[in-house]
Amino acid sequence: MVDGGGTQTPDARTTTIDAGPAGTCDERLVPLVYNGTREPTAMPLTPGQILAIGSWDGCSGTFITDEWVLTARHCGIRVGGSFCVGADPRNPNVCFTAAQVQNHPSQDMTLVRMDAAASSRIAELEPIAINTTMLDDTWLGRTAEAAGYGQQEDGSSGEREFTAEPIVAFESPQFLVIDGMGERGVCFGDSGGPVMIVADDGSVRVAGDLSYGDPNCLGQDRYSRTDLAVEWIESFTGPTNGSTDCATLGSEGRCVGETAVWCDGETPRSERCETCGWDAAAEGYRCITAADPCEGLDEAGACAGVVARWCDRGVVRERDCAACDDGTCGRVDGRVGCVDDPCGGVDYLGRCDGDVAVWCHEGTMLRTRDCAAEGLRCEYVNDRVGYFCAR
């Protein structure tokens, strides 16, 4: 059904989606990190730690020390391979060259020593240390966060994205399993990318590298566990360590899923909670028994459409970015705020301008496809795809 302005509204018809010419993978139909976010939403990563997550040609990886990158063995990394860091590997901050490659004898895990220390080329980069504590069933249900660049099979690059999901299983002999519950997940090209947890000392740790994922990119994904390979990893990297940046976290702290994380002076603290929220007595985010006055928000906040919502010392604050003529809601340095809207009000679901499908790709650029030129029509497909070309 088409309204007077040429924009269609959803109806109940069965639609066949056109996937484009044979041999292509249309990004309208296959998002790179499915329903991911540009900034981490569960892990209190510093901007420098975010930079530690980088891209190979077709895989992802993480600086776990100043010289060594962790990735997946099946990525087939060789000496001379290029590893780039930055939000978009097509325009990276800096690239490194693989100088030494060590493949784990039994796990889907590879260590790569780069040709230079990360800090020598990009001073603000902070490695993310591996998890060295044995994980057990008490971790089931806790929130982990995965990251990657989600490159397509033809080698074209996506942009770094994150997805927060629960840990649902530990599978023998080596896997940590997270589940996107049919809503989100990692996809092609995220292989080797990290899954991260908040350790008992409050620091963010790499708990594994992506070995393989659900074929539809929305289900369970399996990561080779670092806690089962500590001795092997440290035989090359030396002792691994990592700590929470108390200058950034402070005594107020924040909620990371069901865990309260804060600093007592220069000492990081964490506590597993039934409910994490604002504790007025502690003047920070802690485990609480009463109702959370901030409804699950912390100072990092969240976007509700174009409205930025965050917790300010126990009080929920809101800013309607559209009403304030500031564009749309997004993240700046890990916190929600109003940012310029590069898509002029068009969202991911998009619209039809006649028989031209128009949509906002990953919140960064307006994309179009002329359906009539391909003998197709533009119409609403479903709540996941939005408006697109169909037969």
**Beta carbons of 310 and 336 less than 8 angstroms apart:** yes
**What pLDDT score does 390 carry?**
80
Q: Are the C-beta atoms of residues 176 and 157 closer than 8 Å to each other? A: no
Per-residue model confidence (pLDDT) at position 152: 34
Whole-model pTM over 0.75: no
Q: Please report the pLDDT score of residue 155 as a whole number.
A: 36
Give the pLDDT confidence of 151-192 residue by residue, as tens digits.
433 334 467 888 889 999 999 889 999 998 877 777 766 889
Q: Per-residue DSSP letters for 5-39? A: TS-B---S---PBP--STT---TTTS-SSBT-BSS
For the chain, give every residue range classified as CATH 2.40.10.120: 31-237
Q: Are 121 and 87 in contact (CB under 8 A)?
A: no
CATH class as words, domain 31-237: mainly beta
Based on C-alpha coordinates, what's the Rg of the chain?
Answer: 22
Low-confidence residues in the chain, pLDDT < 70:
1-36, 88-90, 150-158, 188-189, 242-245, 257, 324-326, 333-334, 361-364, 384
Helix or strand (DSSP H, E) at 147: strand 143-148
